[in-house]
Structure 1
Amino acid sequence: MTARLFDPMQHPDWITPQSAEWHANVALESGEYNYPWQSEFDEPRAELVFADRISAFLDENAQVLDVGCGHGAFTKRFAGKAGEVVGIDVNERYIATANEEKVAGASFLAADAAGPLPFRDNAFDVVYTKKGPWLFNNRTAEGHRILKPGGTVLALYHCGTDGGLRRLFPGLYQSLPDRHLDTMRVQFERQLCDSGLAKVELQLFDEVEYLSRPEDVLIKKCFGQKESLKAIVRQECLKQVEAIFRRNRTPRGLKVVNYHALLVARKESRAH
């Protein structure tokens, strides 16, 4: 049985992932929201699946909003497929990075998705978020104001990583709850039900990733954490992680599985 490793989540300096402080740390490192570990993927990647689903709803006149756009790299890929794509994020450092390289048909501004948005009524044909805020918590939410009747809403959410990762590194990674994916499905079904939108699709799917090096196990866990905590985790865990990694790696690296949920919904064309 694998010995229990140091648990960084119990350290007082642990920052809750996806919190404002966590994003501030990520932005401080490079101004970008990019994964810093080395890995390769089986196809199709979740991001490409999501991009294809978005693209299916675009034409040369489409007005598109990316909610929680980060540093804008994903947003910019739609600039040539739509009339205009706008990216918003509450983190001003991300937005500054997004605006460093201008792309025709794409614009970026700092805005808090939790408050009123600086857009006119019925401004967008497509609103999407990749792991970001959901603007449609009820029928009177801000998202309904800015989305045109008949408009489309898409979302991609990460639902955890396993594929043996949590069994191999107990303590460093915690076990997922029983029937985790069933619980996630119920959660997203409820999210769509409460949104006031017409459900089009809810899909949960796997993405296979191969971590390249033992230290990538630690980097993945500590993404967005303070450098001081990363150093502690490396000191406490790296030797054990190296041994476990060597025993379990494939020719492509250590296989893990990322779970994702894809949501697609539509605003009714007229009131019922």
Structure 2
Amino acid sequence: MQNETAYKTYRIPSNVYLWEGVVNVPKLLFDPMKHPDWIPPQTAEWHANLELETGGYKYPWNSVFDEPRAEVIFADKIAACFKESTRILDVGCGHGEFTKTFSQKAKEVVGIDVNEGYIASAKAGTGNVTFLVVDADKPLPFPDDSFDVVYAKKGPWLFHKGIEEGHRVIKPGGMALGLYHCGTDGGLRSLFPGLYYPLPDNYLDGIKAKFERQLSESNLEKIELQIFEEVEYLSRPVDVLIKKCFGQKEALKKIVWQECLKNVEEIFLRHTTPRGLKVVNYHALMIGIAR
């Protein structure tokens, strides 16, 4: 009874065990974010290293998903805007894989990214899609009212308060859409303490408030916001480390593997399912109509 009470009171994670009233707390794993070689994600250095290693913004870990995936939901929202004359702008297109899915459905598709290596990869077999090296924080090289749809999948959102370029290049009545990854949990953070950190209390409420504020300041009409979960199953213990070290240099990855892999394997095997280790990805989907 004493153990049961403790469990309910302190919400002890599933990888913490109780023996005769004593809590066996798992040891903290090595924290690569405290290493001096850690590159903050989404910085210019991080993108440059990722492009050097993979040639694009590609997830290198093995996993499977419950359907529908976030990208499928987003692609369907974009496709619902199509007409025969539709012109599309993908802002922050990366290596262009997602951009090319619309090549046979729209009259014109343009992908832009500031990373030259991403664009070089994207241009391979482009068909009727145009890829350009463009810094979305600067004036865009397009005439006014050029596009019927402007979207960003993790890329820069061009409709912040005080930013005019998005409104300038989109046609009145055009659709602005954004899909943004907002973190991963689903038990991942409690299973691997140190390697991953717990999300703050009321995390999703904070995310929702952030994007609601962003949309309210965007000067778009008929705005819509969805915060939703995507269920993913990591296939192997090493995929836990690959996910954490996405975009990091090989020298740091080697250290992380040496410090963490054995413990990660033990934890992974205790908690995996027939499909893999279940994690949950949080996403924000924003939609608005240009005035």
Please tell me the TM-score bracket, short chain as reference: over 0.9
Indicate the SS of the match to 1:145. Answer: helix
In structure 2, distance between residues paired with 1:27 and 1:135: 23
Q: Distance between the aligned counterparts of 1:50 and 1:265, measured in 2?
A: 14
Residues 1:129 and 2:181 aligned together: no
Instruction: Kindly indicate whether the alpha-carbon contact (under 8 Å) linking 1:192 and 1:199 is maintained by their aligned counterparts in 2.
Output: no
Amino acid at match of 1:95: I
Structure 1: tracts of 5 or more residues without a match: none
2:211 aligned residue: 188
Deviation string, structure 1 residues 222-262 (Cα, Å, up to 9, x no partner): 00001111011000000100000010000111000000010
Secondary structure of 1:73's counterpart equals coil
Amino acid across the alignment from 1:42: D
Cα displacement (A) at 1:23: 0.8
Superposition deviation, residue 115 in structure 1: 0.3
Match of 2:200 in 1: 177
- RMSD over aligned CA atoms reads 0.9
1:95 maps to which residue?
Answer: 119
Structure of greater Rg: 2
Are 2:89 and 2:150, in contact at CA under 8 Å, matched by a contact in 1? yes
Q: Aligned equivalents of 1:125 and 1:47: distance in 2?
A: 20
* Aligned ranges 1:225-240 → 2 under 5 Å: 225-240=248-263
1:4 paired residue number: 28
The answer to whether the 8 A contact 1:139-1:196 is kept is no
**In structure 2, what residue type is equivalent to 1:244?**
I
- Deviations for 1:137-192, whole angstroms, at most 9, x for unmatched residues? 12552111101111110000001000000000010001101111100000000000
The CA distance in 2 between the partners of 1:222 and 1:213, in whole Å, is 15
Q: What is the deviation of 1:204?
A: 0.5
Counterpart mapping for 1:134-149 below 5 A:
134-138=157-161, 140-149=163-172
TM-score normalized by structure 1? Answer: 0.97
Q: Aligned partner of 1:221: which letter?
A: K
Counterpart of 2:38 in structure 1 is 14
Match in the other structure for 1:84: 108
Q: Distance in 2 between matches of 1:209 and 1:89?
A: 27
Q: Which runs of 4+ in 1 moved over 4 A?
A: none
Structure 2 SS opposite 1:9: helix
Residue 276 of structure 2 is aligned to residue 253 of structure 1: yes
Asked if 2 retains the 8 angstrom alpha-carbon contact of 1:208 and 1:255, the reply is yes
Distance 1:150 1:163, change over 3 A: same
In the alignment, what sits opposite 1:222? Answer: 245
Cα distance in 2 for residues equivalent to 1:163 and 1:120:
45
Q: Pick one of 48, 52, 66 that aligns with 1:42.
A: 66
Choose which of 112, 115, 118 in structure 1 pairs with 2:141: 118
- The answer on whether the counterparts of 2:100 and 2:126 sit within 8 Å (CA) in structure 1 is no
For residue 75 of structure 1, what is the amino acid of its counterpart?
A: T
Match of 1:157? 180
1:181-218 per-position Cα deviation (integer Å, ceiling 9, x unaligned): 10000000000011111243100110000000000000
Answer yes or no: is 1:65 the counterpart of 2:89: yes
Asked if 2 retains the 8 angstrom alpha-carbon contact of 1:68 and 1:129, the reply is yes
- When structure 1 is superposed on structure 2, of 212-221 and 28-37 the one drifting more is 28-37
Instruction: Say yes or no: does 1:31 pair with 2:55.
Output: yes
User: Which shifted more, 229-238 or 192-201?
Assistant: 192-201
Aligned-residue identity in percent:
66
Separation in 2 of the partners of 1:264 and 1:48?
15
Q: Report SS of the residue matched to 1:208.
A: strand
- When residues 128 and 144 of structure 1 are mapped into structure 2, their CA distance, relative to the original with a 3 A threshold, is same
Q: Distance in 2 between matches of 1:181 and 1:206?
A: 10
Q: Which moved more, 1:136-145 or 1:93-102?
A: 136-145
User: SS state of the match for residue 102, structure 2?
Assistant: coil
Aligned to 1:109: 132
State the distance in 2 between where 1:25 and 1:199 align: 39
